[in-house]
Amino acid sequence: MGQLVQVAKIIVETDAARPNLPVRASPVRANDVAAYLARIKPAFDRAMECSTKQQLFDYLCQLEAEYMADRASVDNFAHIVHRMYPAKTDLRPWRHGAAATACPYPHCRVPLTADQTFSLYVMGQSVRCRICRCDLSMDTFRLAAFLHDFPTFPLEPTTKTTPLTMPLLHKNSSRESYERDVLRAVFWHETQTKSTPMDLVLAMAKHLQSLAPICSNWDYWSHPHVIDAAIVRYNQFVHLVEKAPAAAAAALLPTMDIALVRFVHQSLERLPALTLPKSAPDMAAAAYAETFVQWSEVFNQAYSSFPPSFTAWSNAANALSKATLLRKKWNQSVRLPSMDSRFVGVDRHLPRDGMLWTPSNVDGGDAFFSLRIDFAAVLGTPVMDDRVVQPSNDPVLRLHSGETTADSRRRQL
């Protein structure tokens, strides 16, 4: 614990001693981060107790229902997540056709299992109906809901308006195929109403996934020195984003500490949601490497102890003819910190007693959303390093699959 916190103290002291660095301070204060952490902890603890997909889904639906019943006074996890998306004011619940509880095809309508509903609604995966054998995705359910709301649409070949019946869903309909069927006359229900309803249950599930590395190391992340260091690094990251061109700024990837303060900032002001590209390991590795290079050039210090991938970075540049120049820039900018100044805990196995907080069922039990204990998220851990949260069985909040980003990065080095 002492070495980990010492890194935070050094970050804060170094920032205070650095003169004339034009980094604008954000409105986020240490007490804001501490209050945010204290509010999300109960929701995470409750999610850790869920032993099945259905239990977690029911819990999130319960939070949504409580918040929707009295949005003026209910201050639960649903409220916290909704505040992070201030532009999404419309929280209309989905119609039954989009609830992913039964096959949406009129000739079938067989109920789906709880696991199928969870896979569709929360994890964004496709499933196959066990009766009609159609492949179902959330696109299918949204199309069915649209067809329910708009069975006809006006066709005006002359001055007389003629209602035209919408076509039925074909087997394995997709959004693209259905749009072709109606000659590009079908639009999403959201665009018809000029409003985009927010799927609060899905937003809560994704936010829990993002918070898991932090909440699993609770004592560390709630330490005052760590919070202060996270704010310092967040201000530096915002400085990079503001000075970079739009395309380059979009390619920057935060570390866990920066993401945490960003979540808090989103809850305080109207800011765009932070996108964490965990679903594309190669793109995430390239974004991390670009951030490492820019951070080194601007602040003359290492972004993290997590080694970036030159292969991912140079491939993203799409400039094979400039390979020599890219390698020269890389060699000038990328320097991992020395042993004395490294980000302790980053990209390193930790012994069991090195974990600052572990779930009560870490040695056994059947809790569905359990954690690995050999990696922990600390200052400098990239958000793409998904080794810090590794479900022990079927994934609940792990919304991506396949090769881990860390494995991909090592393959590219």
For residue 55 the two structure tokens come to 């239990």
| Closest by CA position to 144, among listed 180, 175, 117 | 175
Examine residue 363 and state whether it is found in any structural domain, yes or no.
Answer: no
- Pairing type for strands 135-136 and 152-155 reads unpaired
Examine residue 351 and state whether it is found in any structural domain, yes or no.
Answer: no
What is the signed CA dihedral for 129, 133, 134, 137, rounded to 10 degrees? 30
Query: At residue 352, does pLDDT exceed 60?
Result: no
Are 215 and 333 members of one domain?
Answer: yes
Examine residue 253 and state whether it is found in any structural domain, yes or no.
Answer: yes
Please enumerate, as own/partner, the contacts of 390-393 that have beta carbons within 8 Å and a separation of 24 or more. 393/368
Q: By residue range, what is the domain housing residue 9?
A: 2-48+202-341
Are 167 and 262 members of one domain?
Answer: no
Q: Average the pLDDT over each of 4-8, 32-36, 109-113, 342-346 and give the range with the smallest value.
A: 342-346
Are 17 and 131 members of one domain?
Answer: no
Are 151 and 220 members of one domain?
Answer: no
Which pLDDT score is estimated for 31? 95
pLDDT (tens digit, 9 = 90+) per residue, 195-253?
445 678 888 888 888 888 898 888 899 999 999 999 999 999 999 888 877 666 667 88
% of the chain exceeding 90 in pLDDT: 14
Which residues have CB under 8 Å from 205's CB, separation 6+? 56, 60, 122, 397, 399
Place of tokens 């919070």: 227
Are 24 and 141 members of one domain?
Answer: no
Asked which of 168, 192, 216 is the last residue of a domain, the reply is 192
- Count of the separate structural domains present in the chain: 2
The span from the first CA to the last CA of the chain, in angstroms, equals: 30
Are 104 and 17 members of one domain?
Answer: no
Are 270 and 333 members of one domain?
Answer: yes
Mean pLDDT over 347-373 rounds to: 44
Beta strand segments in 104-204, E: 127-128, 135-136, 152-155, 162-165
**DSSP assignment string, 123-164:** T---EE-TTT--EE-HHHHHHHHHHHH-SEEEE-SSSS-EEE
Mean pLDDT of the chain: 73
Are 258 and 297 members of one domain?
Answer: yes
Examine residue 58 and state whether it is found in any structural domain, yes or no.
Answer: no
pLDDT (tens digit, 9 = 90+) per residue, 379-402?
888 888 877 754 433 344 443 333
Alpha-carbon distance values, 229 to 181, 225, 296, 346 (Å) = 55, 6, 18, 15
Which pLDDT score is estimated for 77? 92
For residue 97 the two structure tokens come to 């056709």
Beta bridge partners of 255: 382
pLDDT (tens digit, 9 = 90+) per residue, 323-332?
556 666 666 6
**Pair 101, 112: CB distance under 8 Å:** yes
Are 179 and 149 members of one domain?
Answer: yes
Alpha-carbon distance values, 168 to 164, 257, 351 (Å) = 12, 49, 58
Beta bridge partners of 127: 136
Examine residue 356 and state whether it is found in any structural domain, yes or no.
Answer: no
* SS3 of the chain: helix, strand, coil, percent, to 5: 50, 5, 45
Taking the C-alpha atoms of residue 126 and residue 349, their distance in angstroms, rounded to an integer, is 35
Examine residue 375 and state whether it is found in any structural domain, yes or no.
Answer: no
Asked which of 314, 341, 368 is the last residue of a domain, the reply is 341
Are 103 and 24 members of one domain?
Answer: no
Per-residue pLDDT band at 365 (split at 50, 70, 90): very low
Are 220 and 329 members of one domain?
Answer: yes
pLDDT (tens digit, 9 = 90+) per residue, 145-169?
878 877 776 655 544 455 556 666 7
Alpha-carbon distance values, 366 to 44, 371, 384, 405 (Å) = 17, 12, 27, 27
**Pair 77, 210: CB distance under 8 Å:** no
Examine residue 217 and state whether it is found in any structural domain, yes or no.
Answer: yes
Mean pLDDT over 110-121 rounds to: 86
Taking the C-alpha atoms of residue 4 and residue 350, their distance in angstroms, rounded to an integer, is 12
**Pair 110, 130: CB distance under 8 Å:** yes
Per-residue pLDDT band at 370 (split at 50, 70, 90): very low
Which residues have CB under 8 Å from 80's CB, separation 6+? 36, 39, 40, 43, 267
- Between 93 and 263, where is the model more confident? 263
Asked which of 192, 214, 245 is the last residue of a domain, the reply is 192
Query: At residue 191, does pLDDT exceed 50?
Result: no
Are 278 and 168 members of one domain?
Answer: no
Cβ of 402: how many Cβ atoms within 10 Å?
8
Examine residue 413 and state whether it is found in any structural domain, yes or no.
Answer: no
Which pLDDT score is estimated for 322? 59
Mean pLDDT over 41-45 rounds to: 91
